[in-house]
Amino acid sequence: MALTAQTVLVANRAAYTPRSLPDVFSQVAYPGQMKGLGALPEPPMHPGNAGLALETRLPPSLNPEPYRIGVGDVLLLATKSAASTVEQLTGLLAAQNQRQGYTVRDDGAIAIPDIGPVTLAGMTLDEAEAKLFQVLVENQIDPAFSLEVSEFNSRRVSVGGAVRNPAVVPITLNPLNLSEALAAVGGLTAKDREYASIRLYRNGTLYQIPLETFVKRPELGKTLLTDGDAIFVDTSYDLDRAMEYYTQTLRATELKRNARHTALQELQAEMSMRRQVQMDLRDNYRTREEMGGNKRDYVYLAGEVRNQGRFVLPYNQQVTLADVLYDKGGFNTATGNPAQIYVLRASSDPEEFGAVTAWHLDARNAINITLATRMEMRPNDVIFIEEQPITKWGRALQQMFPTILGSASAVN
């Protein structure tokens, strides 16, 4: 059958678990305790000890909204004002009289001389300008003015924890997102990102974004924040604290036993012996490997490949048709036919002894080569490449020439 995306999926369904290296290749020589000092203290708890991972709990998404004036904001109101000839000539005093800052009071209003309180809290800038226009007209004042927020004090987000400069970050006319809030406090200072997380407290609910997830997913930095949000960059497990913990514990043990130097020497000796045992076991395994004493799985290459033989399936990982072909140098297109590449797989069912499934790959189309990168190999698969038609003729002629020449010599 032709090798296609669908047939690759079917072929890869055949059950196969790569052989694993012995445990001795993953063990460490640390003995677990110091002779003479007793067992080492339990290390500080962190997610890795319990096989846990930091959970991602994202806050609900917010829709961007226009800024609304709030208590504590400082509004800058610029209006026309009558000025003397001297003031008009200098322009300085006139400019000072025209621009005036007003703080929004607790009742939500600003107090404008000769007009009185004007409630603006909760309004957008457009709504506030419309309200001021109406008030100026009602008080028979030239309604030519401009309004802007010079200080944003009503809507804020607090940022603390493992950041450079913990602070309260104001929300301005532009919506504030998580990345901007962290940048505003100088960025992160967490040294061990694996166990650090960004925690967001909002309306009585705690949300969490692991720092590694935050770095890998840039879209999380665009998470919008709202007034009252509290961000804390937390380190569930800090390597510096762990090192300090072990150091202090060893010092306490030294004072208690007065034998730290001897204990460390014995620990080093025990570690050296264990390491030597491990190295011996590993060397013995490698020697058996070289002498063929370890059971392995193979894929076989035949036909017009550069090197006919067998390919050893590696430990702990799957390999593909492309891995096998190109690890062995591929094939010579002068003699091998790229249109006739076959993967032969015998049935594993004893009742179907002798039954073989063949997948055909036409590598003349470069796109089909990508299928070879997804076709997983199984033990005892055979990769066969047919010869070019011209190669068949050449080899046939080479076999015929000696016979023809021998017959001609006999006639003479």
What CATH number has the domain bearing residue 160?
Answer: 3.10.560.10
Q: What is the pLDDT of residue 282?
A: 83
Q: What is the pLDDT of residue 381?
A: 92
Burial bucket for residue 359 (CB in 10 Å: 0-12, 13-18, 19+): buried
151 Cβ neighbours under 8 A, 6+ residues apart: 73, 74
What CATH number has the domain bearing residue 127?
Answer: 3.30.1950.10
Alpha-carbon distance of 111 to 127, in angstroms, equals 18
Alpha-carbon distance of 241 to 176, in angstroms, equals 33
DSSP letters spanning 184-235: HTT-B--S-GGGEEEEEEETTEEEEEEHHHHHH-GGGGG-B--TT-EEEEEE
Cα angle value 260/261/267 (rounded, 5°)? 85
Q: Do residues 232 and 254 both lie within one domain? A: no
Look up residue 412 and give its two tokens. Answer: 């003479």
17 Cβ neighbours under 8 A, 6+ residues apart: none
Would 217 be classed as within a structural domain?
yes
Q: Do residues 104 and 166 both lie within one domain? A: no
Cα angle value 102/105/110 (rounded, 5°)? 40
Residues in the chain: 412
Q: Do residues 209 and 260 both lie within one domain? A: no
Domain boundary among 199, 220, 236: 236
Domain boundary among 290, 308, 325: 290
Would 262 be classed as within a structural domain?
yes
What is the count of structural domains for the chain? 4
Q: Residue 404 in contact with residue 397, Cβ under 8 Å? A: no
Q: For the chain, list residues with pLDDT below 50.
A: 34-41, 43-44, 47-51, 83-97, 238-243, 245-246
What domain range is 127 assigned to? 74-151
Alpha-carbon distance of 288 to 282, in angstroms, equals 10
Look up residue 373 and give its two tokens. Answer: 């990168």
Q: What is the pLDDT of residue 96?
A: 44
Q: What is the pLDDT of residue 91?
A: 41
Q: What is the pLDDT of residue 276?
A: 84
Would 144 be classed as within a structural domain?
yes
Task: Give the tens place of pLDDT for each residue, 123-171.
Answer: 999 999 999 999 989 988 888 888 999 999 999 999 988 899 999 999 9
Look up residue 326 and give its two tokens. Answer: 């190109």
Q: Do residues 264 and 340 both lie within one domain? A: no
Q: What is the pLDDT of residue 393?
A: 59
Domain boundary among 213, 236, 259: 236
Would 366 be classed as within a structural domain?
yes
Q: Do residues 110 and 175 both lie within one domain? A: no
Closest CA to 167 of 186, 190, 189, 191: 186
Would 402 be classed as within a structural domain?
no
